[in-house]
Structure 1
Amino acid sequence: MDERAPYEVGVGPWVGPWPEGERYDAELLAAGDRRNVVDRYRYWTMEAIVADLDSRRHDFHVAIENWQHDANIGSIVRTANAFLAAEVHIVGNRRWNRRGAMVTDRYQHVRHHAGVTELAAYLHEQGVVLYGVDNLPGSLHLETTTLPRKVCFLFGQEGPGLSDGAREACDATFSIAQFGSTRSINASAAGAIAMHSWVREHADLSGDGAWRG
């Protein structure tokens, strides 16, 4: 019989005098904070957390085509939150599977575009280049590319990959090196690799801004 106590996420009610400040949520202080947030944000209101994130967001964006309600979209949103993307762009169907996001979409700016042409126009107005990520013939190598600071990584649906329209709208396409037998890797895994490539090149890792547990 396993007598170990069940694992609990987060922290219980605040012990002692309550802290002062508008960023604290009275209900969380009284009942405890069981959300999936880093310790820095315990007991903070959602609005206060988003405001703090907005003051530190990175310059990269992430976009994914949504023609088949791909379950990977939620996972990509969650990873974009972890790496603090400026925005996540959903191209195509407005509705998407939020289950994999684990409510991180509440803290991440998610913007909808009817098509890739609209997405490209929006990004270019802000000086952001659009890079497609897919293992297409002629794609450049992500591992040997110097990434611009203002870039948006665009991913296609699981299986078919980037649509023809997306390929035409991209400023360039890049592939991720693979060494095994499979033709492709999961879209959410590819998204994590691309975002972390940007982090390694541009993010400030010298201070306390990066959470390492």
Structure 2
Amino acid sequence: PGQKGGSRPPIRAKRAPDRGLGGTQVEGRHAVRELLLAGQRRVSEVLISAEMDQADIIDDIVELARDLKVPIREIPRRRFDSEAKTESSQGVLARAAELKEKTLFELCSTAPSAGQAPFLLAVDGVTDPGNLGALIRTAECAGVTGLVLPRHRAVHVTPTVTKTAAGAVEHVPMALVGGLPSAIEAMKAEGVWVVGLDAGGEQSLHDMTLGAEPVCFVLGAEGAGLSRLVRQRCDAVVSIPLRGALSSLNVATAGALAIYEVVRRRSMHP
């Protein structure tokens, strides 16, 4: 009422800020110890539950934190539980600077110290933090040189991811991309062979042609698999042979099989 010139101008919604990788709260004994050992991020404090049995790894964490001049707070269990974001934090958590992103170009062009070509992993809409954490842990152990995550509609590095990954998030370079289909095209332009893993793939994982060339495996979301556009952009789509009554594998388990198939093939082409 009282406004001249007709209807009010539309209210524009504020654009949500871009999400980073996360990783600012690290939970679990192995994850916190590896955070301190890696020394790649600023750690603001370590919290320890007072009602906790002593263990050598706790002593290691306390010693490392003191050496790095990181404040250590021992707090009552009830208060600790209110600070923790996971159900199994093992009585230890740390707060740290966010994980630093790499660019997709850096992941495609960085040669690992062993002299092998880039070995990348990309996830298409994976939203379960436990699965992402398990994938990162397997990737680090197998020598994967980079992880590609969608910036939106996918889980990033939450406290559950840090706990499940057991410190691997400190060692696996990660890039965030606006859209996975365009990222796949960019990787292909850099000479990376992109392979999708999907239950509908006509070729078996074990029959694919793979040597020592740069490669990226793309894993689909739990249940839905690869999206249509992602599937279309891949150079090849392979599946894992199943012989039992169930029709699919957990994405972390499927990813582990695919990752170590690449490791096996590369060991044959030193």
The corresponding residue for 2:173 is 109
User: Given that residues 76 and 192 in structure 1 are in contact (C-alpha distance below 8 angstroms), is that contact kept between their aligned partners in structure 2?
Assistant: yes
CA separation of 1:12 and 1:90: change in aligned 2, threshold 3 A: closer
Q: Does the 8 A contact of 1:140 with 1:174 survive in 2?
A: yes
**C-alpha deviations, 1:18-67, integer Å up to 9, x for none?**
xxxxxxx9928xxxxxxxxxxxxxxxxxxxxxxxx942375321110136
Contact 1:57 1:85 in 2 (8 A): no
Look up the match of 1:181. 245
Match for residue 133 of structure 1 among 180, 190, 197: 197
CA offset digits 1:124-178 (Å, max 9, x no partner): 1321011000110x52111122224311100011111111111111111000111
Q: Aligned letter for 2:226?
A: L
Counterparts of 1:154-173 in structure 2, within 5 Å, are: 154-173=218-237
1:184 deviation in Å? 0.3
Q: Which runs of 5+ in 1 are unaligned?
A: 14-24, 29-52, 207-213
Runs of 4+ off more than 3 Å: 5-13, 67-71, 203-206
Query: Could you say what secondary structure the match of 1:71 adopts?
Result: helix
Structure whose CA Rg is larger: 2
Q: CA RMSD in A?
A: 3.2
Write out per-residue CA displacement over residues 52-90 of structure 1, whole angstroms, 9 at most, x where no aligned residue: x94237532111013645531121111111111121111
Which range moves more in the overlay, 117-126 or 157-166? 117-126
Secondary structure of 1:189's counterpart equals: helix
State yes or no: 1:84 paired with 2:143: yes
Of 114, 119, 141, the residue aligned with 1:60 is 119
Equivalent residue, structure 1, for 2:208: 145
State the aligned residue count. Answer: 166
Of residues 107, 115, 120, the one that matches 2:184 is 120
Cα deviations across residues 156-210 of structure 1 (Å, max 9, x unaligned)?
111111111111111110001111011100101111111101111113899xxxx
> How many percent of aligned residue pairs carry the same amino acid?
26
- Which amino acid in the other structure matches residue 198 of structure 1? V
Cross-structure match for 1:20: none
Using the TM superposition, give the Cα deviation of residue 95 of structure 1 relative to its aligned residue in structure 2, in angstroms: 4.9
Q: Which has the higher strand share?
A: 2
**1:142–1:117 CA distance, 2 compared to 1 (3 A):** same
**Matching of residues 16-27 of structure 1 within 5 Å:** 27=67
TM-score of the aligned structures, taking structure 1 as reference length: 0.67
Cα gap change, 1:169 to 1:92, in 2 (>3 Å): farther
2:48 match = none
Report the CA distance between 1:118 and its aligned residue.
2.3
Distance 1:204 1:179, change over 3 A: closer
- TM-score w.r.t. length of structure 2: 0.54
Report the Cα offset of residue 122 of structure 1. 2.5
